[in-house]
Structure 1
């Protein structure tokens, strides 16, 4: 086990998703110009987007914010922001950008950033979870705490989307739960506090496995035969490959390496289900319209029963479409009432 010399916590990793821009601005505005630690920010971004997040955070407070560069140094008093379509990792004082497999459908993924910080920083790391849907970041925050680091979580009642803060709090005990506008002061206090020498706990096999996959990129055989274990019976929404459970709390990987939490997997399959129903609704509407057209054309043609059969087919398709449409509307209303959050994109 690696022995850590006397230190102060000098690496802050922050994860955010839906509703996270405002939370991040609140945090950055409260950090002082002489903040002595490095800040690394990962927020879910679409692969084809052009992100202005670094510019937004640069204007939000006194600390300079920049889009992370591969091989760039971890600079104290600087905010490094993950770019679209790259995982942002840390390694021996530098930043690493990879095209590792998506996690919960995201690249960059918060868990990937947090795991790498837990491995390379150990007790020097503070992990921060802000507003977002579902549970990305919860497993990574747990890894940080397991390695001796600290957890800070936005008060779910203060978050625009409470899914990520609540998921983090369900797996990590922390006394540092605060409103976004208060987190900057909490962080400033924690990074200036001298800490006694700490021996970092050894990383778990699961932590090493998932960090390796994030660093190596997408490839067949990301899970080696000895690591695959028993199949879960579930399939990967990204590639339709079989999923192996890599963590007993419910984290899954396919052979290519795509990662899913149980919560994200459920949401992804719900999206597939909704898509299939929408296709069925479209097919029924088109069938009804075409059958009505054929019934009209066959009205004066013998045998006269042909028009009646087309009309019956149109009524049958219309009734089925109306039933399916009501089901979709009711399901959408129930989802809004239960989560208060949009479906994941």
Structure 2
């Protein structure tokens, strides 16, 4: 008999406060290993291990690539690297973003589920959007335990609510109640199933196999009319239970919510680009009007001024569309 000893925790906006409150009560002899993915900007420096070390009894670190997993340690994903949990060791990956994030919670959760099955406890804390939902569903599928912070308590309820709506969650708790639940679960023996080596695959191998299957017609999804916001490739629509998601051949993956968010960002960038182009057109037209005036070409001056006015009016309309879009969000 073994006990659950792999705890994966995902958080985003509002997650630092929740993480410190969760880690602080855990005892120094806690028998499990904790893995944390918190969304960070790619070019940022994470001081989360230092924060957790000041607040709790367990050592928190940024792992090195291929570092051996040790019990009683908190491994925090580095900015711009996926944290992939393999049997007995950690792999850092600069692979494709998932849900527009690197590190991605889904990537970490999925790797833990493939490698440790029933020994995994998955926890979703405060955050926007829905990163972690697909990975939590896989943990549940393989017999692991799923825990979600009470959305009414979370500073940002998007991630907890998404998980609750799409996955049969074992425990919905306030953060203050999660540590005692983890202590209880890590002392309960479970029936360990044998894991076949060929079922344990790192992220890049999963993506490569998926691409090969698609090329040979062995796929459960179909090519959509949508393109990947990251690379412009075709997105394949994949249905996994009640979860719909999209993945391109390169490996970028999106849930419906994250894809909508990225498309909205693309539209906004395109509109700001249109404003820039229109304002440049207006500036050039006014420059040509001034030159025409210098050469006493009144008709040309009038035509250029009219073009400038039309471009400025169009830019104002596009700007109004962007502002209205911001107000709706």
**TM-score by shorter chain over 0.5:** yes
CA 1:196/1:63 → structure 2, altered by over 3 Å: closer, same or farther? closer
For residues 204 and 311 of structure 2, the distance between their equivalents in structure 1, rounded to whole angstroms, comes to 51
1:250 aligned counterpart, secondary structure: strand
Partner of 1:164: 159
2:28 aligned counterpart, secondary structure: coil
| Deviation (angstroms), 1:174 | 2.1
Kept after mapping to 2: 8 A contact 1:42/1:113: yes
For residues 250 and 213 of structure 1, the distance between their equivalents in structure 2, rounded to whole angstroms, comes to 22
Partner of 2:88: 93
Partner of 1:114: 109
Q: Which runs of 5+ in 2 are unaligned?
A: none
Q: 2:66 aligns with which of 71, 80, 83?
A: 71
For residues 21 and 177 of structure 2, the distance between their equivalents in structure 1, rounded to whole angstroms, comes to 8
| Deviation (angstroms), 1:93 | 2.1
Residue 173 in 1 paired to residue 173 in 2? Answer: no
Number of matched pairs:
323
Kept after mapping to 2: 8 A contact 1:100/1:218: no
Residue 235 in 1 paired to residue 227 in 2? Answer: yes
Q: TM-score with structure 2 length normalisation?
A: 0.89
| Deviation (angstroms), 1:200 | 7.9
Kept after mapping to 2: 8 A contact 1:101/1:218: no
For residues 218 and 141 of structure 1, the distance between their equivalents in structure 2, rounded to whole angstroms, comes to 19
2:293 aligned counterpart, secondary structure: coil
Partner of 1:278: 272
| Deviation (angstroms), 1:304 | 1.7
CA 1:48/1:300 → structure 2, altered by over 3 Å: closer, same or farther? closer
Residue 136 in 1 paired to residue 125 in 2? Answer: no
CA 1:76/1:140 → structure 2, altered by over 3 Å: closer, same or farther? same
For residues 107 and 120 of structure 1, the distance between their equivalents in structure 2, rounded to whole angstroms, comes to 20
For residues 163 and 11 of structure 1, the distance between their equivalents in structure 2, rounded to whole angstroms, comes to 25
For residues 30 and 47 of structure 1, the distance between their equivalents in structure 2, rounded to whole angstroms, comes to 30
Deviations 1:81-117 (A, max 9, x none): 1122322122222222223322122222111111111
Kept after mapping to 1: 8 A contact 2:105/2:131: yes
Kept after mapping to 2: 8 A contact 1:87/1:214: no
Which moves more between the two structures, 287-296 or 120-129?
Answer: 287-296
Partner of 2:203: 214
Partner of 2:327: 333
CA 1:260/1:200 → structure 2, altered by over 3 Å: closer, same or farther? farther
CA 1:200/1:333 → structure 2, altered by over 3 Å: closer, same or farther? farther
Q: 1:245 aligns with which of 213, 233, 237?
A: 237
Q: TM-score with structure 1 length normalisation?
A: 0.85
Residue 197 in 1 paired to residue 158 in 2? Answer: no
Kept after mapping to 2: 8 A contact 1:111/1:140: yes
Deviations 1:152-198 (A, max 9, x none): 11122222222111111111122422223332222222222x24536
For residues 191 and 260 of structure 2, the distance between their equivalents in structure 1, rounded to whole angstroms, comes to 42
Deviations 1:125-174 (A, max 9, x none): 11001112211100000100111111111122222222111111111122
Kept after mapping to 2: 8 A contact 1:70/1:96: yes
1:88 aligned counterpart, secondary structure: strand
| Deviation (angstroms), 1:61 | 0.8
For residues 281 and 32 of structure 1, the distance between their equivalents in structure 2, rounded to whole angstroms, comes to 57
Kept after mapping to 1: 8 A contact 2:145/2:170: no
Deviations 1:33-74 (A, max 9, x none): 222111011122333332222222222211111111223232
Kept after mapping to 2: 8 A contact 1:98/1:216: no
